[in-house]
Amino acid sequence: MNATIEAALPFVHDLTPAQLVALQANTATALGCDITFRDRLGEAGAGPELCLIPSGAFQMGAREEDRGFGELTPRHVSIDRPFALGRYCVTAEEFEGFMHEAGFVWPDHLVRAEGRQPVINVSRGDAETYLAWLSEKSGQRYRLPTEAEWEYAARAGSVSRYFFGDRIGCGEANTGSFQLAGRGVQGWRRFLPFCAPMQQAVDVGLYPPNLWGLHDMHGNVWEFTGDPWIGPIDPLHRATQPGQWFVTKGGSWFESVWQSRSAARKPRMWDELDMNLGFRALREIA
């Protein structure tokens, strides 16, 4: 990836929804693959379901009126090569197959997700070990997405706060509050009428996908990226040492909808474990 727009790359914000769908379909045709697919993992079954993401250029970052602490100013970024991204976060049942074969031991004191819930309480190192296992089993290269790749895929051509527009409701994302404000509102008034709080991550795929087929890019669980966090972790602390903190994206069931904007970002520690923190797999396209 580089930070300039290549002439051959479409600027996705100039494309209509129909053209964005066609861009994805044409990329699949050119590569001789399906828009959605799964890699075989030998006796371990199949890997996570993936969506093909076409190459293109986009504007990354938050609008001036939206920008909060640690958020990036708008800039044009090129995604030079297509890639495949998990249609959903890696689920507990997908991680279970890795656990059995790789001998991963789950600490007894940690809450565990089940079935189609996103796997939680795994560190970034655990996520990378799982992705290395996928790579070995499939013969393909799996890794965490960069922040730019994640935001490009989440936006799917949109310029609004969320893929669905500048406002979203409880039918479009699992977040802790639908208040459009930088600070949360405490108590029962956090929730708009008819939006019952989930109080936890829910099964993947319960909310509608974006134009490129990706579910839960807003809310449910924060997702690790491959990028280190540069600078202070909050307004009261100095810059951190490189490698201690990494960028996460997407918001979660615990924070307000404001934290689930496409441009929103949050620092998390390398070895941090949390009930609102998971990850999504990226598979490189040769």
d(CA 48, CA 283): 10
Residue whose structure tokens are 């924070």: 255
Query: Which range has the top average pLDDT, 36-45, 98-107, 142-151, 263-272?
Result: 142-151
Residue range 28-34: average pLDDT? 96
Q: What residue segments make up the domains of the chain, in order of their start?
A: 12-284
User: In sequence order, what are the beta bridge partners of 86?
Assistant: 50
What local confidence, expressed as pLDDT, does residue 108 receive?
Answer: 81
Integer CA distances (angstroms), 50 to 31, 142, 280, 285, in order:
15, 11, 10, 11
**Position 242 confidence tier, pLDDT thresholds 50, 70, 90:** low
What local confidence, expressed as pLDDT, does residue 2 receive?
Answer: 39
Kindly compute the dihedral angle of the four CA atoms of residues 80, 231, 228, 52, in this order, to the nearest 10 degrees: -40
**Quick check: 190 and 210 in contact, CB under 8 A?**
no
In angstroms, how far is CA 111 from the centroid of its own chain? Answer: 22
Report pLDDT digits (tens) over 97-109: 899 888 888 888 8
What local confidence, expressed as pLDDT, does residue 277 receive?
Answer: 96
What local confidence, expressed as pLDDT, does residue 133 receive?
Answer: 96
CA atoms within 13 Å, Cβ hemisphere of 257: 24
pLDDT of 10 strictly over 50: yes
Report pLDDT digits (tens) over 166-206: 998 888 999 987 655 444 444 434 444 446 666 789 999 99
Report pLDDT digits (tens) over 109-129: 888 888 999 999 999 999 999
**Quick check: 95 and 18 in contact, CB under 8 A?**
no
Query: How much is the mean pLDDT over the chain?
Result: 88
Report pLDDT digits (tens) over 42-74: 888 899 999 999 999 999 999 989 988 888 899
What local confidence, expressed as pLDDT, does residue 162 receive?
Answer: 96
Kindly compute the dihedral angle of the four CA atoms of residues 155, 159, 162, 165, in this order, to the nearest 10 degrees: -130
Please tell me whether residue 61 adopts helix, strand or coil conformation.
coil
User: Does the 12-284 domain belong in CATH 3.40.718.10?
Assistant: no
What local confidence, expressed as pLDDT, does residue 238 receive?
Answer: 64
Q: Is the pTM of this model over 0.75?
A: yes
CB burial readout 4-21, b (16+ within 10 A) else e: ebeeebbebeebeeeebb
What local confidence, expressed as pLDDT, does residue 184 receive?
Answer: 42
d(CA 116, CA 73): 36
d(CA 248, CA 144): 11
> Which 8-state DSSP code applies to residue 246?
E
Report pLDDT digits (tens) over 248-258: 999 999 988 89
What local confidence, expressed as pLDDT, does residue 240 receive?
Answer: 63
Report pLDDT digits (tens) over 200-226: 899 999 999 999 999 999 999 999 999
Give the residue among 173, 192, 172 at the shortest CA–CA distance from 181: 192
Residue 143, φ and ψ in degrees, nearest 5: -160, 175
Strand order through the sheet with 266-269: 266-269, 245-249, 222-228, 277-278
